[in-house]
Structure formats: C-alpha cells, structure tokens
Structure 1
Amino acid sequence: MRVYIETYGCTRNRADAEIMEALLLNAGYELSNLDSADYVIVNTCAVKDPTEHHMRRRIKELLDGGKKVIVTGCLPHVNLKAIDGRVSGILGVKSIDRIVDAIELAERGERLVEIEQRSIDKLSLPRLLSGGVAFVVPIGEGCLNACTYCATRFARGVLKSYRPELIVKWVKEALAKGYREIQLSSEDNGCYGFDIGTNLAELLDELTAIDGDFRIRIGMANPNHVIKYVDDLVEAYLDEKIYKFLHLPVQSGDNRILKLMVRNYTVEEFEDVVNTFRRKIPDLNLNTDIIVGFPGEDEDAFQNTVELVKRVKPDKINVSRYSPRPGTIAARMKNQVVGWRAKERSRYLHRLRLSISYEINKKLVGREVEVLTHGQGKKGGIEGRTMNYKDIIIPDGPVGEFVRVRVEKATATYLLGTPLF
C-alpha cells in the first residue's frame, strides 16, 4: 500500500507529517509520490479564509481525480463542514498517531473521524529523519492566548509544553543524523514551559550546552509572554549557537485594536521588548506580523500602525488582511472593514516594508558574514542563512556547511554574496 503526504502551513505541520511518515513505514506502508499513491493524506492549514478555500479545492481535486484522501491538520477543527464528504477519514492534530488505523478502517469500508482534544506527547512518537540541513523540533502545542481572530487555537488547544529532556534528545538525534540547523517550533514559543515550571530562556541554555557546531532558529514568540523574562531571554540569545532572529508579532500599532484583539500587551510593551533586544544585539533580524482591516480599525488606528513601523523599522513584516474565521469572536464584531480598504492598507504597508527592508539590507553590502548553506535556491545558486537569519544566495558551494561570504548586493528580500574559500 502506497501513501503520499501533502503538507500545508506551518513548521508544526511539517513535523506532524514526519511523525505520520514514521508510523506508516513502521506499519509496512510505502511512502510514494502523488501519482502512484493509493492514499493521499492532506495535512491541512486553515489559518486564513483564502487558505481554507485552497484546502477545499485541493481535496476536491484529488477526489475528482480518483484518489482516496484522508484529511489531517487544522481544517477539521476549524471548519469540519468544509471537508468533502467523500474523504476516507479525518484526523485532528492530536490524533495523527491513529493514521495507520484510519487507512486500515478505510480499506474495510469504514471511516475514522477523530478530532477530539486528546493528550498525546508527540516527542514520544517515532519520526522520520530523512536528512537535510534544517530539522524542526516542536517544543509544545497550544497556547495561553485567546486572540479574538484566531481559529488555530481550536485545533491546537491550551498550552502543553514538552519536557526539556525529550527536546534535548531529539536535538541530539538530529545532530547525529547530520542536521546543522534546529528550528524550535510551537504556536507560541514565548510561553514555552509556563505550564511545567520553566521557560524558553532556560530551555535554550540546555540546548546551547549540547556539543557540536550547529545553529538554533527560534520561532514566533508573543510579546505578552516574552516581556515577563526578556532579560534572561536576551542573555540566552547571546550564545553563538542562537541565530540573532526574533519573530515578535505586534499585529497592530494601535492599543485600542490590540485590546479588541485581546493581545494582552500594549504597543509600548512591544517596543520595550524590541529595544531590550537591540541594546544587546545590534544586528538583530526583527520579524513581525501585522493584521490590517481588523474590525473597528479606522484610519487613525491604521496610521498608528504605520507610525509604529516607521519607528521600529522591522527587517520583515508579514502583512495579512483580516479574514473572519468560523467560531471566533472577531467574526461577530460590528464595524467590519470593507475588503477594498483592507487591500489598500495591505498594499501600502507592503510597500513600506519593502522600502525599510531594502535600506536595512543595503547596509550589509561589503561586509563579510558567516553563512550556513541550505541547498539549491529557487532562483539558482546555493541558498543560505546568515547568523541573523538573512536569506543569502551564493553562486556555488557545499551544502550544510558554514562558509565565509562577502555580501555583494542587496534586495528587499534577500542578499547576494561571493564565498571566500
């Protein structure tokens, strides 16, 4: 029996896919390409309305093409009714350990649908380490926030942090397999450990003590949690094994909108975290997220966001247009912003973001930097990451190695360099 897994969305979904791959291989199934697969597992994302529509179209396309489909991921939790009734099984994010059961039942003409919030420790499950440069290590699942626009929490639930010793074990195993970059992932890395008496800074101290020449990329962390231990976290970041990369989502530059979102921090607190990091880490690569067109966002609120961006000057902004998600409080709010206005604001912020990013990247031209090479770039050459996680392309070079590079050219989204070997 041949199975193909098609994964969408975040790095958490990638890690879930590798767990399912290992479970299937251990049960005697063959992992194949799409064309020859007997079953296709669609590991879905449903963070935004357009993403959900894409998932629905893709599932229908596969079914119409004669494929047997099992749906996993976030979509079953966010909008179960959106899933085509012809699928052979549906598993929630905390039921992926039953993927073999789902196929076996489907073969007998039965359909397994399980989306309950079970308690499973995914780091205790097997996982396929297929090789490469970067390895995703989930450090927890769920979060402590209740953002009014978010449907992901319906899928991932309340925070469950994984034990530090299991995280260390997986990092060591990945390094032994030749991986050079460890990506720490969860719905909110900022609150890691709050439920088990520790925090992200303490975890990083354990991970950087592991022998080997490798780098750690820390995923998204929300400001309301980071501010509680920001000094300790900055100290942990100073270790050479940590990429100087901070993904700190602000979502809005207006305190009234942040309150409507129930983000539990102010613009001023967000800036305090940024300034605390930048005082110790001048080359910090700051990424943030902004939602435009949230219900009640008037012109003054949007301008406050623009002014925040001009003050803070993030290296990158992930700009999203607000889209109502099923079951969320924000979907029922009055003063929904019309689509054309949200699109207009999104375009303006995107242009501003590119301008700021280019000015920051341009200052790197002529500098020599250390780069971890990742592999073939989409536009040719070898793609790599600098030690503050800037994307850089060099003409040629070894993959999975640290190389010295001179930055020759900058764009708003990546750098071009020459290796110095």
Structure 2
Amino acid sequence: MIKVHVESYGCSRNRADGEIMEAILLNAGYELVENPENADYVVVNTCAVKDPTELKMAKRIKELLDSGKKVIATGCLVHVNPKAIDPRVSGILGVKSIDRIAEAISVAERGGKLISVEGWRERNLDKLELPRLWKPGVSFVVPISEGCLNACTYCATRFARGVLKSYKPELVVRWVKDALARGYREIILSSEDTGCYGFDIGTNLAKLLDEITAIEGDFRIRVGMMNPNHTLKFLDELVEAYENEKIYRFLHLPVQSGDNEILRRMGRTYTVEDFEEIVRTFRRRIPNLNLNTDIIVGFPGETDGAFHNTIELVKRVKPDKINVSRYSPRPGTIAARWKQLPGWLVKERSRELHRLRLQIAYEINKTYVGKTVEVLVHGPGKKGGTEGRTFNYKEIILDAGNPGEFVKVKVTWAGSTYLRGVLEED
C-alpha cells in the first residue's frame, strides 16, 4: 500500500484543506502516516504570505526531494510563485484542485505528472461538500468562505484564493453540528476575511453566528480575521451577535498601519478613524475584549511621520496582541514595483513596535492576576502543563485539566504572551 504524509503550513484555512486531502486519500485506499520518513509521497500544502515563508516552503520541498521522497506541491505558493516550486515534484495542485490529490498520486505512479493550477478561477469547488479527516482534539476548523473582496496592493494570497465564494449557511451549520457531535468543543470559523462572508449570497457573518449559537450544547466559537472596511457595514448587528456567551470575546481586526496615506497606498479602503470606531463599539458592549491586530512596518512610502502615527495609534488603542510583519515584496503585486525602504530601517521600526506591543500586552495581562476566569481545556501545552483558552481566547497554562472540559481557573501569573493559573476547588 502506498504511504502518504500530508503537511500543511500557514493559516487554519490551509489546515482544513490538508484534512480534506487526507480524507480523500484515505477513501482512495492510500495509507496515511504521521512521519514523513515513512512515506512514499509527501504532500506539501504550502503558504506564500511572506517572502521568508516562501523561502521556507521551497527549502522544505527541496529537502524532501533530496532525501528521495516523492512530493506533491499544493497550496498558495503554486499560484503566487510557481518558479519557487522545484521542478522535480511529482505533481502540482492549486487550492481549488485539492479534490484531485488521489488522482495526482495515481498519475505519478504511472510515470506522469498532474499539474492542475490553470483555470482555477472557473472551478466552482465547494469544499464543504468534500470529506474531512476528523482528528483527535478539542478544536475544529470550519471554513466559511474562500477568497476576498479586497485588492490590497501588497497581497499575493488573493492570486491563489481569488474572489469571495461564501459557503451556504446550512452547510456551515451542518459541519458545526457534526463536529460538536464528535466531541469537539471549540469551532474556529476560518476564511481569508470573515468580515465579508455572505456578501455574495445575500447574508452576513452576524446572521451566520446567530444560526450557530442557536445550536444546543456547551461550546465556543472563535471568529477568524475580519477586515475593517467590511465590518463597518453591519457593525451593530455583528456586536449584538458577539454578545452571545458561546462566542469568544476575541476580535482579530487588522489595521496594518496607523497612517491614512499608507492605508490608501495599501489599498485598504478604510481609515484609522474607521478602525478606532469599530474598536470603541466592540469594547463598549463586549467587556474584556481580546483585541488582536496586524501591522506591517516598512511599507513603501512609510515616512518617519507615518510610522510615528502607527506608534501613536497603538498607544491609544492598546491591542492585547499585535502581529508585527516586516514588509516584503510579493511577486505580481503593485507594491513590489515601488521603491523599497532600506532593510535596516524596516528592522529598526519592527523592533521598536515589537517592544511596545510586548509592554502593552504585559500591562493588560497583569490585570487578570488574582481573578477567576472560565477556561476551555485544550490539552498538553508546548510550554509545559496543560494548555487552555480563557473566555476571551487568551492562552493560559494550567496545573491540570481534562481536554474538552470547561473549568474555573484562578490566574496566578501573567506574561506578555500568555497566563498561568490553577484550577479552583469546587
């Protein structure tokens, strides 16, 4: 029997794509193995969000090929920069061709090479109609759409995922129900931009959340990243949906820059003031909101004044977490053609923002020490102990706990990136 190992990189959306391919391979009679060393074929489900990520993907594929493994390349990189894919691979599948993974291996076994990337925009693949591998755990990713409605000048992911295709609410709800019936207690709603979910089919994210929270049972929903320009269109309705206790008090709202001119150059179609209005509205009605945002430093044209505006925005808004990225030009994007900032300057700004974001995060997390919070236990933690997530999706390390249980925890320690706590006696 042919043995296959699937490894997925990048976002939770890609993780779901990997589980789809694993289910298809199993149904086709292939054996899945955990260790790539034991595999005949390795499927590398790539990410291409940043230049360093692309280099990592190319290096991984080369390593596998050099070790004698046969490799099928899938994911965003095959769209964004196909030249980065080693020509020795046994097959190449685009993000809307993952349903052909078993066929790709079959073709390779016969000495051929299936390449299914071109024409992907015309493929109307509904991934919620495909099987998924149900892996052990507390958390399950449910994709709600693919693609987006933005045209950011720096983003290459849209070249892979395309224009928005929202999945039918009834299919999303069915997958959530199936996951809960199998014992999962945390549902991650994933998309390139959850904020524009449903705009192409006459609905929106708030309505979808209302349908999901109406499902019986004790579970939690983590809503994936949403862009401010779309969130504004149904803000009050969305905040009202968030008031349901089944939804984590967690908001991932990327601002990318604190300067309106840079936002315009980025093609972001919202202002700093728009971002702050959303944050104020959420915080007014959702206590203890865990605000996560993304910021790109060193974007072409970012002056000292523009970067200063970003620093000042961070000091005003005080996000719980900031994902700081150093700008790197991506193939085929508009911004890649513009004059780039010196690498030393981008690094310097990144370090300054990183220091500030750790300081703010620590100040916020310290306020939880001594308090009792509800936690969903996940399992063994990478930092030791048992990992869990608080009611607002903060990571917390516990002294004990059974995966899938909701427990009361007293917070005993706080760092910049996570908390520690002990179970409270009944």
Q: Offset of 1:6 from its aligned partner?
A: 1.1
- Measured in 1, the distance between the counterparts of 2:329 and 2:296 equals 12
Structure 1 position 274 matched with structure 2 position 279: yes
How far does the alpha carbon of each residue in 1:95-149 deviate from its partner, in whole angstroms, 9 at most, with x for none?
A: 0000011000000111011112221000000111122100000000000000000
Q: Is the 8 A contact 1:131 1:177 kept in 2?
A: no
Whichever residue aligns with residue 423 of structure 2, its letter is P
The answer to whether residue 204 in structure 2 is matched with residue 205 in structure 1 is no
Q: How does 1:94-243 map to 2 (within 5 A)?
A: 94-115=96-117, 116-117=120-121, 118-243=123-248
Given the alignment, which residue of 387, 390, 393 partners 2:391?
387
- Offset of 1:333 from its aligned partner? 1.4
> Which amino acid in structure 2 is aligned with residue 284 of structure 1?
L
| Residue 68 (1) aligns with residue 82 (2) | no
> Is 1:415 paired with 2:419?
yes
Distance 1:365 1:7 in 2: 36
Partner of 1:405: 409
Counterpart of 1:377 in structure 2 is 381
Q: Which amino acid aligns with 2:90?
A: S
Q: Deviations over 1:187-233 (max 9, x none)?
A: 00000000000000000000000011000000000000001110000
Following the alignment from structure 1 to structure 2, what is the Cα–Cα distance between the partners of residues 203 and 379? 35
1:40 to 24, 39, 42: 42
Q: Secondary structure at the match of 1:227?
A: helix
User: Within 5 A, what are the aligned runs for 1:77-96?
Assistant: 77-96=79-98
- AA aligned to 1:349 is L
1:389 and 1:198 map into 2 onto residues whose CA distance is: 26
Partners of 1:201 and 1:7 lie apart in 2 by 30
Q: Does 1:344 align with 2:348?
A: yes
2:58 equivalent in structure 1: 56
Q: Among the aligned pairs, what percent are the same residue? A: 74
Whole-Å separation in 2 of the counterparts to 1:113 and 1:343: 38
In the TM superposition, what is the alpha-carbon distance from 1:5 to its structure 2 partner? 0.4
SS of the equivalent of 1:229 reads helix
In 1, Cα distance between equivalents of 2:373 and 2:401: 15
Q: TM-score, normalised by structure 2?
A: 0.98
Where in structure 1 are there 5+ consecutive unaligned residues?
none
Cα distance per residue 1:278-336 (max 9 Å; x no partner): 000120000000000000001000000000000000000000000000000000113x1
Aligned length: 420
SS in structure 2 opposite 1:35?
helix
- Deviations 1:228-281, CA, capped at 9 Å, x for gaps: 110000000000100000000000000000000000000000000000000001
Deviation at 1:395, TM superposition (A): 1.1
Q: Aligned residue for 2:295?
A: 290
Q: Secondary structure at the match of 1:143?
A: coil
CA contact (8 A) 1:234 1:277 kept: yes
Number of the residue aligned with 2:24: 23
Q: Does the residue aligned with 2:278 lie in a helix, a strand or coil? A: helix
8 A Cα contact 1:91 1:114, kept in partner: yes
Residues of 1 paired with 2:180 and 2:128: CA distance?
16
**Aligned-pair distance for 1:337?**
0.8
Distance 1:375 1:229 in 2: 36
Q: Tell me, in whole angstroms, the C-alpha distance in 1 between the residues paired with 2:251 and 2:398.
A: 24
Paired residue type of 1:365: V
Matches within 5 A, 1:300-379: 300-334=305-339, 336-379=340-383
TM superposition outliers: structure 1 runs of 4+ over 2 Å: none
Superposition deviation, residue 399 in structure 1: 1.2
TM score, norm. by length of structure 1: 0.99
3-state SS of the aligned residue for 1:307? helix
Contact 1:131 1:178 in 2 (8 A): no
Amino acid aligned to 1:22: A
**Among 260, 270, 281, which residue is 2:265 paired with?**
260
Alpha-carbon distance in structure 2 between the residues aligned to 1:132 and 1:5? 18
Which amino acid is the alignment partner of residue 57 of structure 2? M
Report the RMSD for the aligned CA atoms in angstroms.
0.6
Question: What is the deviation of 1:400?
Answer: 1.2
Q: Distance in 1 between matches of 2:310 and 2:411?
A: 32
Q: Unaligned regions of 5+ residues in structure 2, if any? A: none
Shift of 1:398: 1.0
